[in-house]
Chain A
């Protein structure tokens, strides 16, 4: 048994090994609730400021304190922002997951872990590492370094602040700019000098200790890059982007019920609205209510949407399940509402803190009877913002629920984004008749008459001062004038009109994004957050001699361009983060003539899709 001192090199280490610069991943293993997110974000932000393309993924448990949690940071000189499963550098701070973390380090990779008194403890960790003679190991005297902080931190925050030791060590070992570390802490602690000094103080102590006691022996390095990001790049999470978008979309009413991973949509809405949506005398131009459950949340927004307000809620799978009946009512009574679904793993409670795209099918057809909903599919921060305001336009234009299908990865992880573009169009409030309009048409009006032959009828709002303004909103059968009807002809005509409305929407919703290359023999069709990984997959495939075109769907019902695109290939791969290949199924149902061309590349294991897996799967289907 080798005794590890402060560091150790692998048995087959060669001294002149080339450096691996800006092309590897970190994995930081800690215990949930110990404040490691501050340290992780600090590293992420500093790397971002160094101009290195990065992505950070928080793989956290459904727990408040104690269970293992991992944070992945990928640095990619080539600009690949998708998740990678393998991490060459592992910071293992949590004994509970230590054996697993040690085993996960690839040969030639790096392991960093605490070594501390008492001695028994020291042995406990070291014993696990003895078999790994093929990796680089650095050990950190965490407690001892925390002890050097002057003034000493309060006992209550010791565990939190101890995470700053690995920040200093990682900064030293992998060449992360200390100035940027300090800037990141300044941002996190909102300029509160005492907190910045204390945290940065420990980062520095750790950095200096490493400088004096460790020899940098592994090949992994970070190096500042220039011109990677535009002058407007920033870090943001999708839930905040969505909330900001909604605030600039003129959100008037929100009702919600807390659920991971969607709660921060409402919390950010609250914060942004408080800042930007009050009149000079302090009055709110909106209202946000925390409802008693998701049934009440959607009921409230249906009432508000009917009354003429831009209304929204944010939830996740279990909430969507509860909202089913109201979604059907809103579809049939033709009430504009916006529902953000930040998808997590189902069925049932599933894995509440893990990402998936498992609600696509359910949300699209939510409720009984022949019901279909518009779904918007944001893939990045800019689209979260844009759909944040645009969803209201679509809901009011088509007088129907609009679901925005984000996911945990998009919603809760920090992503690099360009600063958002101010809304380019005025609010589209749809077909609403005022008292003056009713006067003009001499009150000759029926709530569900298809005057323009686009399936979208005219509505009036409660409170309209005209004796012919009122109509009776209902989920029961009705004729074109909104009167109760059980007549089979009325029923069929109504469903046909609703179908017409969805067909109008199909072509007016955002068209897919298409990217074509010379000599492509196949194509990848995907949507949402998968894009980060799929971009990398396209390069991986090309390197293997498979040229593939690319299409990203933006909305459901699927634009006819999607069908046209698929038609022009022998076969295409529909890549998605669920088990059944739900989008592939929807495309097959909408466009049966192309069904035989669709090959499913679908996976759902709680992690964002990674390029390597997609690529391997496609290559094997290509017979390569």
Chain B
């Protein structure tokens, strides 16, 4: 047997795994877990500083299937954004990697989702979008298409919510969409999301093989394979010079991420500029009329301050501050008391 491959911090691929999945075989969510582990291994991520956050649902269970050395919080249905907000404010050196479902995010948790976007909390927010509630056995979620039929829930009479569009309206600074069947793109977008400073939403069409995988469903494997419109190809480079050397001008769009690295965005199908909000609206709206799944980086804004920046906290995370820095002095208590209306 050959030597097992280790990464830059000396860990093996297996060190990034956790419990075996208890989801249905073939569930789209499982392949996303696999890509998370692959990226974490390739990128030599330090699991001790990652927190895995989720709500409730099949999708929200998945943090139990990857990165066993990271703390995790499987919270309550739809409220992962608030729990993550508190954790990151308490310790802004933590990297939050969150997994939610379309029901968790688009139905019960819709308010928290929108407010999270407004605050631009630094985190990666993955929605494993299957158009149904997997865990409660196949009821329609808010992302189910109008007129969609399933064996269990029947016919859906209501219009869907597009989470990417909602994020865009909500002021999100990173919006991407992918398909769980496209492992490479999922990995690339995960890497990119991790280097974004702000909330990075990746809406991943992730078929529920048990309740919503009929070929006519826009959340099925078949649809994902046949109706996908890949917007751009993303390249990672270390410096701007590399872009200048390797690519022709005009063909690619360079974008600098917060950590200093440059990426290249190569346009594929549509003429779309992901740094332009109008353009992002346009591709999302067009995709609706054509029933296509547009994938790739839809929108990015690297200038927006995060809630961590806005709150102007100490560089040292709040949780590391000792009592001497948290409890004001006796003299300060006296000062506070002297500002009261005293008896004499």
Partners in one complex: yes
Measuring CB to CB, which residues of chain A are less than 8 angstroms from any residue of chain B? Answer: 45, 48-49, 51, 184, 187, 229-236, 244, 247-250, 252-253, 255, 272, 275-277, 279, 282-287, 289, 291-293, 295-311, 325-326, 329, 333, 416, 419-420, 422-423, 426-427, 460-467, 469-476, 484
**B90/A307 in contact, CB under 8 A:** yes
Decide if B330 is an interface residue (CB 8 Å cutoff).
yes
Given contacts A250-B326, A296-B112, A472-B74, whether A235 and B318 have CB atoms under 8 Å apart is no
The residue in chain A whose Cβ has the minimal distance to the Cβ of B73 is A473
**A470/B340 in contact, CB under 8 A:** no
Given contacts A305-B86, A462-B87, whether A287 and B318 have CB atoms under 8 Å apart is yes
Measuring CB to CB, which residues of chain B are less than 8 angstroms from any residue of chain A? Answer: 47-49, 51, 53, 63-64, 68-76, 79, 81-91, 93-94, 111-112, 115, 119, 307, 311-315, 317-319, 321, 323, 325-328, 330, 332-333, 335-337, 340-344
**A469/B71 in contact, CB under 8 A:** yes
- Chain B residues with Cβ below 8 Å from A286 are 313, 318
- Chain A residues with Cβ below 8 Å from B53 are 303
Given contacts A285-B326, A422-B330, whether A475 and B90 have CB atoms under 8 Å apart is no
Q: How far is the CB of B62 from the nearest CB of chain A, in Å?
A: 12
Contact of A234 among B313, B333, B342 (CB under 8 A): B342
Top 5 A-B pairs, shortest CB-CB distance? A299-B82, A303-B86, A250-B326, A304-B86, A309-B90
Given contacts A252-B326, A284-B313, A309-B318, whether A303 and B87 have CB atoms under 8 Å apart is yes
The residue in chain A whose Cβ has the minimal distance to the Cβ of B63 is A472
Q: How far is the CB of B82 from the nearest CB of chain A, in Å?
A: 3
**B319/A463 in contact, CB under 8 A:** yes
- Chain B residues with Cβ below 8 Å from A423 are 327
**A304/B70 in contact, CB under 8 A:** no
The residue in chain A whose Cβ has the minimal distance to the Cβ of B46 is A465
Complex Cα spacing A309 to B318, Å: 7
- Chain B residues with Cβ below 8 Å from A461 are 71, 91, 319
**A284/B314 in contact, CB under 8 A:** yes
- Chain A residues with Cβ below 8 Å from B47 are 470
**B307/A289 in contact, CB under 8 A:** yes
Q: How far is the CB of A40 from the nearest CB of chain B, in Å?
A: 14
**B79/A296 in contact, CB under 8 A:** yes
**A253/B340 in contact, CB under 8 A:** no
Complex Cα spacing A172 to B243, Å: 85
Given contacts A252-B321, A285-B321, A306-B87, whether A291 and B82 have CB atoms under 8 Å apart is yes
Complex Cα spacing A303 to B328, Å: 25
Complex Cα spacing A520 to B238, Å: 84
Contact of B93 among A252, A293, A463 (CB under 8 A): A463
Contact of B115 among A292, A416, A427 (CB under 8 A): A292
**B313/A304 in contact, CB under 8 A:** no
**B326/A476 in contact, CB under 8 A:** no
Given contacts A247-B328, A484-B64, whether A303 and B318 have CB atoms under 8 Å apart is no
- Chain B residues with Cβ below 8 Å from A473 are 71-74
Q: How far is the CB of B228 from the nearest CB of chain A, in Å?
A: 34
**B69/A467 in contact, CB under 8 A:** yes
**B82/A295 in contact, CB under 8 A:** yes
Complex Cα spacing A399 to B179, Å: 41
- Chain B residues with Cβ below 8 Å from A253 are 86, 89-90, 318
- Chain B residues with Cβ below 8 Å from A469 are 48, 69, 71
